[in-house]
Amino acid sequence: MFPRPIQSQSAAAQATYCAMLPLALILWLAPLIAVAVFSIKPDVDFSSGNYWGMPSTFAGAENYGKVFFESDMPRYLMNSVLITVPTVIGAVALSCMTGFALGVYKFRGNLWIFFMFVAGNFVPFQILMVPVRDLTLNMGLYNTKLGLVLFHVAFQTGFCTLFMRNFIRALPFELIEAARVEGVAEWRIFWFVVLPLMKPAIAALSVLIFTFIWNDYFWAVVLTQGAESQPVTAGITSFNAQYRAAYHLMSAGSIVAALPPVAMFFLMQRHFIAGLTLGAVK
Amino acid sequence: MTDTAPPSIAARRLNGQALAPWLFLAPGVLFFLFYVVFPIFQSFNLSFYRWDGLGAAEFVGFGNYRELMTDRAFEVSMWNNLKWLVLYLLAIPAGLFIALFLNQTVAGIRIYKSLFFFPFVISQVVVGLVFTWFYDPTFGLLNTMLGWVGAGPINVLGDPTLATYGIIAAGLWPQIAYCMILYLTGLNAVDPEQVEAARLDGAKGWRMLWYVIVPQLRPATFIAFVVTIIGALRSFDLISIMTNGGPFGSTRVLSFYMFEKALSEYGFRMGYGAAIAVVLFLIMLVFIGYFLWTMWRQERGR
């Protein structure tokens, strides 16, 4: 245990530590707390210059009501869901198979294919931008959710394969050997032996990819435009243009846009952190 | 393997085992080749052309690269990329110190850890908006706080010398959170016996941290290094949201400049954009090569 457990130190040190924790947290999250406070302030507070005082009245319901009922926000949110969920399913499904192939079989080129996925996952988006935009245009998928989903699935397969392959490598190989001795067909080994053991990896990857895709902005701007297909990250800029200088509404909108991955994180925290920190421990 | 099975079945099984991996790989690999690998080569090819995205492309050889050499905006972008790379790495020690601060077992510490991690989960777009308001010269929290101590006001994002640093600070916020969570996990796995033994030998504080703890955190440090470098070179969202490259183009980085050139409102310059992307890719390739080399050594070590 490092640093030395606080319990083994003086009572004064313990009290100081416990007092410092909330203080440090408030400082750390200050920019965010400010936005949260903004989002429940009424309009008049901003025109009267009451930026940092207490809200004169609680206007949270009104502000968030406007976001949900008088703007395109619900459409953007819906688009985000329709882009994110299929991507998660597609990328996880593909990488279960690629991860299985690279983790279980020994064949020539195994490591090369693996490294192709790893390297591809690290390339800058800009090197793909023009050709992928062109490809999407030519397939008639520009400005559609499907166009965005297809690209996201392909790109995320890189990271997911890295993850799945390393996870499968750590499974007990004897299980697969035993199944082979029994004469079980390879695809049945995949489906009935390995897949059930991969549940924790599937859960971890799903939350991670959900967050990555929900928060994507670059590809949303490159491959879509307009409220019919843009996800919420891109939509928030049009939302802000619509409510220019209406800080209470812009704050409420930002919080709504940020919320789904946050909720996902708090609900699936254990999986999320397991996913992010895979490999951080030997 | 069973010796009793007739050779024909054994052969078929062997065949199955030789064919199976390729069947499992096919959909993922084809998809990846189509959307990721081929486009890289297409971009390389395109960087030798002049193309507005609509008409016919005109071959210009190294023309785009020659133009880059004298392009002031490109030079500014390169310097800013360097600033991002160097300053972004501060996320690693900062994350380590927050992790050390939180690595205790008191009531409610789990909630604190989650809340400290919070900024990483939020989209960069929202982080950008939040920090734009934080820096706002008339009502932003930063200037309000500076006012308490009698300093300011400063217009961080409106000042060409400060703006890039302001954006990097915003980017560090989620990145520190990420490094913190990596180190918290790493610290969990630190061998308590080694720590005790070092304590008996009189090691404490900084020496303990540097000679006993940090070496054991190597895997976490490696991942933190990888994700931070990639994050620094991928910076786009924050710049686009916070300054859109301004003021006077002073906050451009390669990734943003490329986007601006290729899809600018003053006409598309796809070939020139592709040339910028190739430069960015080659910079990244140095790091990718290093990462792969490290991974390859680990694979060998198994």
Separation in Å, CA of A186 to nearest CA in chain B: 7
| Residues in chain A closer than 8 A to B100 (CB atoms) | 2-3
Beta-carbon contacts of residue A136 (< 8 Å; ≥ 6 apart) = A142, A147, A150, A151, A223
Closest-CA residue of A relative to B16 is: A186
Cβ B255 vs Cβ B245: under 8 Å: no
The answer as to whether B51 is a domain residue is no
Best of A52, A122, A125 to mutate (most B CBs within 10 Å, chain B): A122
DSSP class per residue in A62-121? HHHHHHHHSSSHHHHHHHHHHHHHHHHHHHHHHHHHHHHHHHH---TTHHHHHHHHHHHH
- CB-nearest to B274 from A51, A130, A186 is A130
Closest-CA residue of A relative to B37 is: A120
Separation in Å, CA of B104 to nearest CA in chain A: 6
Cβ A71 vs Cβ A242: under 8 Å: yes
The confidence score (pLDDT) of residue A216 equals 93
The answer as to whether B219 is a domain residue is yes
- CB-nearest to A30 from B9, B112, B141 is B141
Q: Nearest 5°: CA angle at A17, between A14 and A21? A: 145
DSSP β-bridge partners for residue B59: B49
For residue B14, pLDDT over 70 is answered with: no
Closest-CA residue of B relative to A18 is: B106
Are B24 and B64 contained in the same domain?
no
The confidence score (pLDDT) of residue B13 equals 59
Closest-CA residue of B relative to A268 is: B114
Q: What is the pLDDT confidence band of residue B12, given thresholds at 50, 70 and 90?
A: low
| Residues in chain A closer than 8 A to B173 (CB atoms) | 31
pLDDT tens, residue by residue, B97-147:
999 999 988 888 889 999 999 899 999 999 999 999 889 888 888 888 888
The residue ranges of DSSP E strands in chain B, in sequence order, are 49-50, 58-59
Token output for B267: 């006409």
The answer as to whether B163 is a domain residue is yes
Are B13 and B140 contained in the same domain?
no
More reliable by pLDDT, A267 or B3:
A267
CA dist A249 and A45 (Å) reads: 13
The answer as to whether B45 is a domain residue is no
Token output for B248: 């006077």
- CB-nearest to A257 from B123, B134, B178 is B123
Task: Check the CA dihedral B242-B244-B250-B256 and report its sign.
Answer: positive
Phi then psi for residue A224, to 5 deg, are: -140, 160
Q: What is the pLDDT confidence band of residue B66, given thresholds at 50, 70 and 90?
A: very high
CA dist B5 and A196 (Å) reads: 29
The confidence score (pLDDT) of residue A47 equals 76
Are B178 and B210 contained in the same domain?
yes
Are B33 and B124 contained in the same domain?
no
Phi then psi for residue A251, to 5 deg, are: -65, -45
pLDDT tens, residue by residue, A224-262:
988 889 999 998 888 888 887 788 888 898 999 999 999
Helices and strands counted in chain A (H then E):
16, 0
Cβ B160 vs Cβ A255: under 8 Å: no
- CB-nearest to A258 from B31, B122, B296 is B122
| Residues in chain B closer than 8 A to A110 (CB atoms) | 21
| Residues in chain A closer than 8 A to B125 (CB atoms) | 215, 217, 233, 236-237, 257
CA dist B238 and B129 (Å) reads: 8
Q: Nearest 5°: CA angle at A7, between A6 and A10? A: 80
Give the pLDDT mean for A117-123.
92
Beta-carbon contacts of residue A63 (< 8 Å; ≥ 6 apart) = A39, A40, A41, A248, A249, A251, A252
CA dist B62 and B40 (Å) reads: 18
Q: Do B24 and A276 touch (CB under 8 A)?
A: no
Q: What is the pLDDT confidence band of residue B3, given thresholds at 50, 70 and 90?
A: very low
| Range(s) of the domain holding residue B269 | 59-301
Cβ A225 vs Cβ A143: under 8 Å: yes
Are B68 and B27 contained in the same domain?
no
| Residues in chain B closer than 8 A to A21 (CB atoms) | 106, 109, 112
The number of residues making up chain B comes to 302
Q: Do B17 and A105 touch (CB under 8 A)?
A: yes
Q: Do A155 and B36 touch (CB under 8 A)?
A: yes
Are B87 and B11 contained in the same domain?
no
Q: What is the pLDDT confidence band of residue B2, given thresholds at 50, 70 and 90?
A: very low
The confidence score (pLDDT) of residue A70 equals 85
Of B281, B222, B289, B297, nearest to B42 (Cα)?
A: B281
pLDDT tens, residue by residue, A265-277:
888 888 888 888 8
The count of domains in chain B is: 2
Q: Mapping DSSP to helix (H, G, I), strand (E, B) and coil, where does residue B149 land?
A: coil
ω into B160 cis (within 30 of 0): no
Q: Do A276 and B182 touch (CB under 8 A)?
A: yes
Cβ B129 vs Cβ A254: under 8 Å: yes
Give the pLDDT mean for B60-86.
93
Separation in Å, CA of A121 to nearest CA in chain B: 9
Count CB neighbours of B297 within 10 A.
9
Cβ B109 vs Cβ B102: under 8 Å: yes
Beta-carbon contacts of residue B183 (< 8 Å; ≥ 6 apart) = A280, B95, B96, B99, B100, B217, B220, B224
Average pLDDT, chain B: 88
CA dist A208 and A202 (Å) reads: 10
Separation in Å, CA of A115 to nearest CA in chain B: 7
- CB-nearest to A32 from B42, B130, B270 is B130
- CB-nearest to B219 from A5, A24, A282 is A282
Separation in Å, CA of A128 to nearest CA in chain B: 5
Q: Do A158 and B36 touch (CB under 8 A)?
A: yes
Are B33 and B83 contained in the same domain?
no
The answer as to whether B50 is a domain residue is no
The answer as to whether B138 is a domain residue is yes
CA dist A121 and B230 (Å) reads: 10
> In CATH, what number is assigned to the domain containing residue B186?
1.10.3720.10
CA dist A169 and A103 (Å) reads: 5
The confidence score (pLDDT) of residue B108 equals 87
pLDDT tens, residue by residue, A187-215:
999 999 999 999 989 999 999 999 999 99
Q: What is the pLDDT confidence band of residue B1, given thresholds at 50, 70 and 90?
A: very low
What percent of chain A clears pLDDT 70, i.e. is strictly above it?
98
Q: Is the CATH code 1.10.3720.10 the one for domain A69-276?
A: yes
Q: Nearest 5°: CA angle at A217, between A215 and A220? A: 115
Q: What is the pLDDT confidence band of residue A13, given thresholds at 50, 70 and 90?
A: confident
| Residues in chain A closer than 8 A to B244 (CB atoms) | none
Q: Do A101 and B21 touch (CB under 8 A)?
A: yes
The confidence score (pLDDT) of residue B206 equals 87
Q: Which residue has the tokens 């309009």?
A: A43
Q: Taking the CA atoms of chain B, what radius of gyration do you get in angstroms?
A: 25
The confidence score (pLDDT) of residue B300 equals 80
Are B166 and B34 contained in the same domain?
no
Cβ A59 vs Cβ A118: under 8 Å: no
Are B91 and B183 contained in the same domain?
yes
ω into B215 cis (within 30 of 0): no
CA dist A120 and A129 (Å) reads: 14
Are B135 and B75 contained in the same domain?
yes
Closest-CA residue of B relative to A127 is: B277
pLDDT tens, residue by residue, B238-292:
999 999 888 888 999 999 999 999 987 767 889 999 999 999 999 999 999 999 9
Q: What is the pLDDT confidence band of residue A156, given thresholds at 50, 70 and 90?
A: very high
Best of B48, B98, B122, B208 to mutate (most A CBs within 10 Å, chain A): B122
Specify the domain boundaries for CATH 1.10.3720.10 within chain A.
69-276
Q: Do B46 and A131 touch (CB under 8 A)?
A: yes
pLDDT tens, residue by residue, B155-199:
889 999 999 999 999 999 999 999 999 999 999 888 888 888 888
Closest-CA residue of B relative to A47 is: B139
Beta-carbon contacts of residue A186 (< 8 Å; ≥ 6 apart) = B16, B17, B20
The answer as to whether B292 is a domain residue is yes
Closest-CA residue of A relative to B183 is: A280
Q: Do B129 and A28 touch (CB under 8 A)?
A: no
For residue B5, pLDDT over 70 is answered with: no
The confidence score (pLDDT) of residue A34 equals 86
pLDDT tens, residue by residue, B182-191:
999 999 888 8
The confidence score (pLDDT) of residue B75 equals 94
Say which amino acid occupies B188: N
| Residues in chain A closer than 8 A to B9 (CB atoms) | 183
